[in-house]
């Protein structure tokens, strides 16, 4: 049996991008999950350790990383077990796709070990199996960009149909992450089951506008289209100082500002590094008046997605 040990990385991501609830997502840089994996002689998946996040299950049948890996092993008929060591740099409940990073890393690592029978696009399906455990609903708007990199559009979950679209090369992402936790399941329960026709028409127009704005690199159109009639009006109540942070970021030059995933992180799109720096300082100014601990960072859209480190 091979003693080969590999390490993979799956980046964090931001989904529910403004008007694109459960449809749009993009990968970000540096943050994500590092997973070491190797075959074992016990014929089952084992999690040896988890670093960087408290309370995540070591039981393979409950952990999104190993659930995704097991789904792939079952499909290819692989009987060997895999031992995992997981290191997380994005905490659960942040709005930055923590569970998706874990699921993507598990599927990607398993695929590497068994000889890469699946393409990255095909691996999105296995990652979705793990992600479904975290949110109680099948959706791929975080796992798709984490796996593929770039900006993803999930046209359909069943059957799965994921598209990658172009975006401006100089677009920057600024994130303010208040250190509170918002669970995806909790945030989804807040949403209504229906939407008025008038709001739906607005939402559809903005979805089309945001796609066209990204692909044509039209920042003005991107900004005009970043209006969400579905999730933001409800979920923003979970995020301290959200309205003030959004207003001051736009005044500082952000193209658009919205909730990252289910929150509590907030993100802005900016044109270039200079604008991103100004928006970052604006976020800091808002939260300096509170007693909240807040993490801040800027990022490009990560074009690479999941990758093998060694």
Catalytically active residues, by annotation = 131, 184
272 in Cβ contact with 172 (< 8 Å): yes
Q: Any bridge partners for residue 87, and if so which?
A: 34, 51
What is the C-alpha separation between 258 and 107, in angstroms, rounded?
30
Residues whose CB is less than 8 angstroms from the CB of residue 75 and which lie 6 or more positions away in sequence, other chains included: 126
- In the chain, how many H helices and how many E strands? 10, 11
81 in Cβ contact with 37 (< 8 Å): no
**Pick from 107, 32, 7, 120: nearest CA to 65:** 107
What is the C-alpha separation between 177 and 72, in angstroms, rounded?
33
């Amino acid at each position: 049996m091979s003693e080969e040990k590999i390490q993979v990385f799956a980046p964090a991501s931001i989904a529910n991008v403004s008007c694109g609830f459960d449809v749009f997502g993009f990968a970000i840089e540096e943050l994500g999950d590092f997973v070491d994996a190797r075959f074992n002689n016990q014929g089952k998946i084992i999690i040896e350790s988890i670093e960087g996040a408290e309370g995540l299950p070591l039981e393979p049948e409950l952990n999104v990383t190993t659930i995704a890996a097991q789904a792939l092993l079952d499909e290819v008929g692989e009987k060997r077990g895999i031992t995992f060591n997981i290191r997380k740099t994005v905490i659960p409940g942040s709005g930055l796709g923590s569970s998706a990073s874990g699921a993507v890393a598990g599927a990607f690592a398993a695929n590497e070990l068994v000889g890469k029978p699946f393409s990255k696009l095909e691996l999105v399906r296995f990652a979705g199996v793990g992600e479904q455990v975290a949110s109680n609903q099948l959706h791929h708007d975080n796992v798709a960009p984490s796996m593929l990199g770039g900006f993803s559009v999930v046209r359909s979950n069943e059957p799965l149909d994921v598209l990658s679209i172009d975006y401006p090369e100089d677009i920057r992402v600024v994130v303010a992450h208040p250190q509170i936790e918002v669970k995806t399941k909790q945030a989804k329960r807040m949403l209504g089951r229906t939407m008025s026709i008038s709001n739906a028409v607005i939402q559809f127009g903005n979805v089309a506008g945001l796609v066209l704005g990204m692909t044509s690199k039209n920042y003005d159109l991107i900004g005009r289209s970043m209006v969400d009639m579905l999730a933001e009006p409800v979920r923003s109540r979970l995020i301290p100082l959200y309205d003030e942070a959004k207003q001051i970021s736009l005044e500082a030059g952000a193209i658009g500002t919205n909730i990252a995933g289910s929150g509590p992180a907030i993100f802005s799109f900016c044109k270039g590094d200079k604008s991103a720096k100004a928006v970052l300082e604006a976020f800091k100014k808002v939260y300096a008046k509170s007693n909240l601990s807040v993490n801040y960072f800027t990022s490009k859209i990560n074009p690479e997605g999941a990758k093998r480190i060694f």
